[in-house]
Amino acid sequence: MKRHIPSEEDWGNYQDDLDQNYAHGIFAGRDSTQVMSAFARSSIDRAEDLRFMPTVPFQYYIFSFCEFVTSAEVLTLNDGLDASDAASCFLNLVIYKLEHQRSDIEPIINELMPFVERVALNQSLYDADIDIYGDFKENFFLIQELVGKQIASR
């Protein structure tokens, strides 16, 4: 699906919320290519920004995160040390949205699932120690379960 950079109107009253205001400063008006460096600097912080974004910006920029976390570039960050953080943050963000802000993620979940699956089934590629990050496959199964419940509740 062709997406458009969110407008100021799509950001709503972002000034009234510190988290949204901060995310707006980093993301607003930028296309997916322009925000890649922000994900590379700190995927943990950018995942938090995505968590607190209004719906339309979230639905646009989550795909930038998808592209980043499944890119070859993520595996070379700090000799791969941040790849595990990026992958874990991505999966946990999807879980959070499904559990707490379903309306943000429901319209795009089918498009997100190939990225979720790719990350979840390649934990070793991200050098994500299961003792530290948990089992990505378990996260994948949880996401599938939450998506199934979402579909069943329609």
Which pLDDT tens digit goes with each residue over 36-86?
A: 989 988 999 999 999 999 999 999 999 999 999 999 878 776 555 589 999
pLDDT at 15 over 80: yes
54: how many CB neighbours lie within 10 A of its CB? 18
Distance between CA atoms of 97 and 30, rounded to whole angstroms? Answer: 23
pLDDT at 152 over 60: no
Which pLDDT tens digit goes with each residue over 98-149?
A: 999 999 999 999 999 999 999 999 999 999 999 999 999 999 999 999 999 6
Task: Specify whether the CB–CB gap between 136 and 91 falls below 8 A.
Answer: yes
pLDDT at residue 150, as a whole number: 53
pLDDT at residue 28, as a whole number: 97
Distance between CA atoms of 120 and 77, rounded to whole angstroms? Answer: 19
pLDDT at residue 76, as a whole number: 72
pLDDT at residue 77, as a whole number: 62
Q: How many residues does the chain have?
A: 154
pLDDT at residue 154, as a whole number: 44
pLDDT at residue 72, as a whole number: 83
pTM of the predicted structure, to 2 decimals: 0.91
pLDDT at 153 over 50: no
Task: Specify whether the CB–CB gap between 45 and 63 falls below 8 A.
Answer: no
Cα distances (Å, whole numbers) of residue 38 to 12, 44, 72, 73:
22, 10, 16, 13
Average pLDDT over residues 13-37: 95
| Domain residue spans of the chain | 8-152
pLDDT at residue 29, as a whole number: 97
